[in-house]
Amino acid sequence: MFNKRPNRGPSRGGSRNNRPAQGSSNRGARPSGRRSPQGSKKGRFTGAYIDPKMFINKAVPAKAEKEEVHIVKALFSDLAINDQLKSAISKRGYAHPTDIQAKTIPHILEGKDVIGLANTGTGKTGAFLVPMVHKIMGDYKQKLLVVVPTRELAIQIQEEFIALTQGLRLQAVVAVGGANIRPQIQRLRSRHNVVIGTPGRLKDLIARKDLKLETFTNVVLDEADRMLDMGFIADVKLLLSLLSSPRQTLLFSATLSKEIEALVQQFQTDPVRISIKTQETSAQVDQDIVRVGKDEDKVNILQKLLAQTSFQKILIFTRTKRGAEKLSKILLQMGFKSESIHGDKSHHQRQRALQSFKNNKVEILVATDVAARGLDIPNVSHVINFDVPASYEDYIHRIGRTGRAGKTGIALTFIE
């Protein structure tokens, strides 16, 4: 896909020596600490050291369907949900729920509080949307609040909600920071069944008396661990305290820390705990490192890698907002179709960049960790950690953007 563009610079295709083959002696080396093109030594990343060996793992291809014929898979048609909803799910091409969906939906339909522990990309959105839409269809006075850590995840959930409720006369309002609050207020004043929002903007709307949580009898905390990491736990507690009681409370998270356990104890009633967490990193992601020598330039090595035809839809992670913007512009100058997404961009700019990447209008998205969690971007062939992540958990979430839906992906981490 990249092999017909002009202005690539002198390195067509590049040498594969920059990417170690399996068994390479370059593996496991400690970063040298040399100056990066993205910043000076003075401002250099000082996070926890991660052994580069942890960035290397051979992918295990997904088993062929014929090898799993002995497994009886659940069907959406067998679930005790509204027939119109079943039809909407079928029209979207879904016949079998994912593991987290199959194990949580029946409990949610029974009105129980649920804790769902699952890795990213396992279908958590459908796990709560399907039973909640069914519940609202049975009683249009029911209202659902979905609290999420980022605006991108909020919009992704809204898109899934719209696709799931075509023709069902249900409405969702997205309330997120970084976007004009006036249109959100106007939508809240019209009829709606679901509000999907980030903690800060939800608090603003409550303070303005444009959102009254006492009318909501259902709440979902999605990516609770991420909200904790981002310092939203106090805001989440406030939101939960303002909700109607009794209510149904659903919590989804990749991990269950002591702080989240305390939240569960305070705000959930005898919750059903369901865990389908698999190994830390996806078995379908081929993970390797790219060694950067003392006299080598990371950007030049990256250019050579991207010139290879196997690199078709690439998500590149940098440590800083400035680094993401700078690298994206450099790639554009080299002739690559690139966009960036980071916290300094407006809500509209971030959504436009994401949609361009999802719709294959650009093939490279350079991002900070704001894009690492929760986002469902189809057919990402490669994740490249241009800068080493701050923690191994961040690494897991970054590379979780590839190797999805049964496909094998590739994750490469630059080591200096």
Name the token pair of 382.
Answer: 């490669």
Among residues 249, 275, 301, the one where a domain terminates is 275
Residue 202 and residue 186 in one domain: yes
Q: Are residues 183 and 228 in the same domain?
A: yes
Single residue among 275, 304, 325 that ends a domain in this structure = 275
Residues 107 and 25 in one domain: no
In a domain, residue 5? The reply is no
CATH code for the domain in which residue 30 is found? 3.40.50.300
Please tell me whether residues 136 and 93 are part of one structural domain. Answer: yes
| Backbone phi and psi for residue 387, each to the nearest 5 degrees, phi listed first | -115, 140
Residue 405 has pLDDT above 80, yes or no: no
* pLDDT, mean of residues 191-218: 96
Q: Check whether the bond before 183 is cis (ω within 30° of 0).
A: no
How far is the C-alpha of 109 from the C-alpha of 124, rounded, in Å? Answer: 15
Total Cβ atoms within 10 A of residue 363 = 20
Q: What is the pLDDT of residues 97-153, one digit of tens each?
A: 888 999 999 999 999 999 999 876 678 899 999 999 999 999 999 999 999 998 889
Structural domain range at position 146: 69-275
pLDDT band at 226 (very low <50, low <70, confident <90, very high): confident
Q: Pick the closest to residue 278 from 53, 76, 62 (CA basis).
A: 62
The single-letter code of the amino acid at 230 is M
Residue 137 lies in a domain: yes
Distances (CA, A) of 131 to 42, 83, 136, 218, 226: 52, 12, 9, 11, 24
Residues 234, 299, single domain; the answer is no
For 273-305, the pLDDT digits (tens) are 998 865 555 667 888 889 888 888 999 999 998
Query: Does residue 82 fall inside a structural domain?
Result: yes
Q: Could you report the per-residue pLDDT of 351-394, keeping only the tens digit for each?
A: 889 889 988 999 999 999 876 555 678 888 899 999 988 877 77
Looking at the fold, whether 339 and 242 belong to one and the same domain comes out as no
Query: Is residue 11 situated within a structural domain?
Result: no
Does residue 176 belong to any structural domain of this protein? yes
Taking 70 as the threshold, does the pLDDT of residue 35 lie above it? no
Listed residues 225, 246, 275: the one ending a domain: 275
User: Residues of the chain with pLDDT > 90: what percent?
Assistant: 45
The pLDDT-based confidence of 60 (bands split at 50, 70, 90) is low
CB 391 within 8 Å of CB 49: no
Q: State whether 198 and 225 are in the same domain.
A: yes
Continuous segment of H or E residues that includes residue 189: helix 181-189
Q: Which residues contact 199 (CB under 8 A, 6 or more apart)?
A: 147, 149, 227, 232, 235, 236, 239
**Domain membership flag for residue 8:** no
Q: How many domains does the chain have?
A: 2
Residue 120 lies in a domain: yes
186: in domain: yes
If asked whether residues 262 and 405 sit together in one domain, one would say no
